[in-house]
Structure 1
Amino acid sequence: MTDTTIINVLGRRVWDSRGRPTVEVDVRLKCGAFGRAIAPAGASMGSGEAVDLRDGGEAFGGLNVGRAVAAVNEEIGPALVGMDADLQEEVDRAMITLDGTGNRGRLGGNAIVATSMAVLQARAAAEKVPLWQYLAAGRDVRLPLPEIQIFGGGAHAARRVDIQDFMIMCPAAGSFAEALDWTAEVYRTAGLLMKKRGSLQGVADEGGYWPAFRSNEEVLEALVKSIEMAGFKPGDEVGISLDVAASEFGKAGVYTLALGNTSYDTDEWISILGQWLDDYPILSVEDPLGEDDRQGFQTFTRLYGGRCQIIGDDYLVTNAARVSEAAKDKAVTAVLIKPNQAGTITEAFQALAAAREQGLGTIVSARSGESEDVIISHLSTGWDAGQLKVGSFSRSERMAKWNECLRIEEALGSRARFAGRDGLAFAPWDREES
């Protein structure tokens, strides 16, 4: 029998896609298996998510992770040595208990999640199979429907536009590879369109174009035009997905847009979003309301959940209890799953399982501060999440994850199935229900 006892845990400082320090952890098992993982970092964050431990001070703008690395090497590692990597939940619970805070603030969410993911990677390596296959455990799984940014805004692009992510989805594609083919053409034509207009000004944190627009509607119009220029039918073959990230500009039911410097109450803001749904081929909307606007989420989902997917991110922070409550409230139709937001692999899976039990869709997601780590490609496939959100179609930390899914699809061969349109989650109830 393979001995999956943890014999060594090593943390180190590495660098993320924004050139900021982050935590990498190596885990070695008695059988010789090895796992490695890197903690990502968000820019737009929900108030209830696990927090990173940073050093403060002047070096690297206060973002150094010396304390988090020390936590891995001096506390977490010694506590885990001798534990069985086969018991992921027990390993994760031990770290949560050792930390002793509600938000992972003592040892650091970055230290804990990197260790949690590395233990999982080591356990799969002990079976001598890819992580997606270990997680699938013999069950049929699907390649996820990708959600890919074309234009970046919000906290990822110096708030040049209010909406954080303007993305596309290709539900009519016949395979994951074809979905990337279509995306590549839309991304390319969007760049050509911006260049022709003289408004191409680099890329945002997640690799999407960072042009100067006069309004949020102008971005939507440019995205539709890019889809058409690439030779696809907007809405039929290629649709739009928005990450509104409304908590970034909405508090206590007041939504203030930088473009136009105009404020709206919840009902007025919902009306604007509803007009966008009427005017543009939008298939999915993430965090349309602020995380503190529970009633707004309920109203928006009641009105529009039958025609587009409505995702909770900052609102739910990959928390199983919040997911179950939101399902009871009929406040969302899908849930974003971010391991570092939850704090551990176990908690991320619990949130996904809670969503699945309630009939909600699930989207495994990257963060704006990413790395070469491709674990979410395996999580989205092995957990059969149905959707994957990584960022744009440029920058190696993004492309590494898309490319890994291509390898997984190739490895599955004739057994490969693409989630496509079935990956989307619309409300099963009558949207006119009060």
Structure 2
Amino acid sequence: MLTIKDIHALEVMDSRGNPTIQASVVLSDNTKASAIVPSGASTGKREALELRDNDKTRFLGKGVLRACENVNSVIKHHLIGLEATNQAFVDERLRALDGTPNYANLGANAVLGVSMALARASAKALNLPLYRYLGGANALTLPVPMLNIINGGTHANNSIDFQEYMIMPLGFESFKEALRASAEVYHTLKKLLDEKNQLTSVGDEGGFAPNFNNNVEPLEAISQAIEKAGYKLGEEIALALDVASSELVDEHFNYHLKGENKILDSHELVAYYKELVAKYPIVSIEDGLSEDDWEGWAFLSKELGRQIQLVGDDLFVTNASILQKGIEKNVANAILIKPNQIGTISETLETIRLAKHHAYQCVMSHRSGESEDSFIADFAVALNTGEIKTGSTARSERIAKYNRLLEIEHELKGGIYIGKELFKHG
């Protein structure tokens, strides 16, 4: 029986230059594996707690030495000797050790790092790729990427209110071809922005961060780039938005679109979305309303839920109990999956199973503060999520996930690229 022999954590850096945790697990056969935990910029207030030091003399208070110490002491002490391949049992032990609903004691960053590293070490010891270890023989589906090619909101220092403008390459036979087309659109967009003397600096997730006059101009620019790159708008490459509207809302559920000098209530914002969806081939809107605006979400779901994908990120925070509330209220039809919002691999799996049981689409997702760790690429294939959000075709911490998916596609001798089938079953 493979058991846990050693666990340790190290403070390393994420893609924004902030500290994060690298956790390592050593098994009884001396197999070792590590994992680096990501962190978000726009975070849901019901997310599991990321433990920071708050010591202003180090990293402006963002150090993670306390979380590392929790791994190196309490977690290590209680997990050594446990069966390594019983992920659910180990994850439950981590939850019990913390004793709070949101990992306020040990830190979700400490717990997730260990949970990820354990899964990776166990897969390695069994000589299995991570996607096969986590997903079994049915792990065959390569996800459609949602590539964030124009950044706004909290991900960029510009006048765009919406956080992400994405492309979805649906009309292709393979992940490889879909990614190639996306890269070509990205480079074509850069040329178009250059021609208009727009900024081509990039945001946290590798998308461009130009200054447009309103929130519609990016849709026009991306549509033009898709067609100029030689692809059919809507048919081969569709559009998607992450509004991150919890960053725009006030206490009265009015939404402040500063880029357009407008203040809209929930119903007016939904009407605005309907206009956009009628004019552009938008197939998905994430966090279209605030995480607390359940009444507005119900209206949005009624108005657009049969037409497009409505993704809850801040709304659900990868939490099965909150998702259950959404299911009961007929809110949204898809959920963003971010393991660090909930704490462990097993809890993430629980949420995905609940979503699939109720025909909610699952979108595996990175965070804006990422690293070279490509765990979520394997995780997306393992669970056949069908979609993955991991930035643009720029910045190495984003490319790491795409390159891993290319490797997996090669190992699977093509696998299944879900493409246009994605929304036929959603």
> Is this a same-fold pair by TM over 0.5?
yes
The structural deviation recorded for 1:103 is 1.5
Is 2:158–2:211's contact at 8 Å kept on the other side of the alignment? Answer: no
Map 1:362-401; keep pairs closer than 5 Å. Answer: 362-401=362-401
- The residue number in structure 1 matching 2:38 is 40
Q: Give the Cα–Cα distance (whole angstroms) in 2 for the partners of residues 54 and 225 of structure 1.
A: 43
Gaps of 5+ in 1: 428-434
Asked whether the equivalents of residues 309 and 425 of structure 1 are also in contact (C-alpha less than 8 Å), the reply is no
Alignment check: 8 A CA contact 2:364 2:376 kept: yes
Structure-1 separation of matches of 2:110 and 2:295: 35
Q: Give the structure 1 partner of residue 422 of structure 2.
A: 423
- The amino acid of 1:187's aligned partner reads Y
**How far apart, CA to CA, are the structure 1 residues paired with 2:123 and 2:182?**
31
Could you say what secondary structure the match of 1:296 adopts? helix
1:15 equivalent among 13, 16, 40: 13
Range 141-150 or range 248-257, more displaced: 248-257
Cα deviation, 1:113-154, whole Å, max 9, x if unaligned, reads: 111101111111121011011122122520111110110011
1:82 is matched with 81
Between 257-266 and 6-15, the greater mean CA deviation after superposition: 257-266
Contact 1:306–1:426 (CA<8 Å) still a contact in 2?
Answer: no
Q: Kindly provide the CA deviation profile for residues 333-391 of structure 1, in whole angstroms up to 9, marking residues without a partner as x.
A: 11111100111111111110000000111111000000000000000001111111101
2:204 maps to 205
Q: Given residue 337 of structure 2, which amino acid in structure 1 is its aligned partner?
A: I
The count of aligned residue pairs is: 424
Secondary structure, aligned partner of 1:67? helix
Q: TM-score of the superposition, structure 1-length normalised? A: 0.95
CA contact (8 A) 2:140 2:412 kept: no
1:9-41: CA deviation from partner (whole Å, max 9, x where unpaired) = 010011000011000000011022222111100
Residues 250-261 of structure 1 correspond to what in structure 2 (within 5 A)? 250-251=249-250, 252-261=252-261
Give me the whole-angstrom Cα distance separating, in 2, the residues matched to 1:174 and 1:147.
Answer: 16
Partner of 1:126: 125
- Residue 392 of structure 1 aligns to a residue in which SS? coil
Contact preservation (8 Å) 1:191, 1:200: no
Q: Offset at 1:201?
A: 4.0
**One-letter code of the match for 1:242?**
L
What is the Cα deviation at residue 159 of structure 1?
A: 5.2
Which residue does the alignment assign to 1:29? 27
What is the Cα deviation at residue 70 of structure 1? 0.6
Residue 72 (structure 2) pairs with residue 73 (structure 1): yes
CA offsets 1:56-75 (integer angstroms, 9 cap, x no match)? 13221110111111111011
Distance 2:158 2:31 in 1: 44
CA distance, structure 2, for counterparts of residue 323 and residue 343 of structure 1 = 16
Q: Secondary structure at the match of 2:284?
A: strand
Name the residue aligned to 2:141. Answer: 142
C-alpha distance 117-140 of structure 1, shift in aligned 2 (>3 A) = closer
Q: Which amino acid in 2 is paired with 1:6?
A: I
Moved more, 177-186 or 52-61: 52-61
> 3-state SS of the aligned residue for 2:416?
coil
Per the TM alignment, residue 263 of structure 1 is displaced from its structure 2 partner at its CA by 1.0
What is the 5 A alignment of 1:91-102?
Answer: 91-102=90-101
The structure-2 alpha-carbon separation of the partners of 1:377 and 1:102, relative to structure 1 and needing over 3 Å to count, comes to same
Deviation at 1:426, TM superposition (A): 7.3
Counterpart in the other structure of 2:300:
300
Range with greater deviation from structure 2 (131-140 or 240-249):
131-140
Counterpart residue number, 2:246 = 247
In structure 2, relative to structure 1, the CA distance for the partners of 1:425 and 1:29 (3 Å cut) is: farther
**Range 321-330 or range 219-228, more displaced:** 321-330
Alignment of 1:269-308 (within 5 A): 269-308=269-308
How far off its partner does 1:425 sit? 7.1
Deviations 1:194-214 (A, max 9, x none): 101111241000000011111
Residue equivalent to 1:187: 186
Is residue 171–residue 236 contact of structure 2 (8 Å, CA) maintained in 1? yes
Distance in 2, matches of 1:78 and 1:274, equals: 54
CA distance in 2, matches of 1:61, 1:226: 40
CA distance in 2, matches of 1:221, 1:205: 22
The alignment partner of 1:91 has SS state of helix
Q: CA 1:193 to 1:118, structure 2 compared with 1: closer, same or farther past 3 Å?
A: same
Number of the residue aligned with 1:262:
262
Q: Which residue of 2 aligns with 1:196?
A: 195
CA distance in 2, matches of 1:422, 1:297: 26
SS at match of 1:410: helix
Hey, which bits of structure 1, 4+ residues long, moved more than 4 A?
Answer: none
Could you tell me the TM-score, scaled by structure 2's length? 0.97
Moved more, 92-101 or 369-378: 92-101
Give the equivalent residue in structure 1 for 2:107. Answer: 108
CA contact (8 A) 2:159 2:213 kept: no
Quick check: 1:333–1:425 contact (8 Å CA) kept in 2? no
Equivalent position amino acid for 1:177 in 2: K
**AA paired with 1:10?**
H
Q: Distance in 1 between matches of 2:151 and 2:425?
A: 25
Q: For the structure 1 residues 231 and 410, does the alpha-carbon distance in structure 2 shift closer, same or farther, using more than 3 Å as the test?
A: same
SS at match of 2:41: coil
1:227-286 per-position Cα deviation (integer Å, ceiling 9, x unaligned): 111111111110001001110111442101121332111111111111111111101110
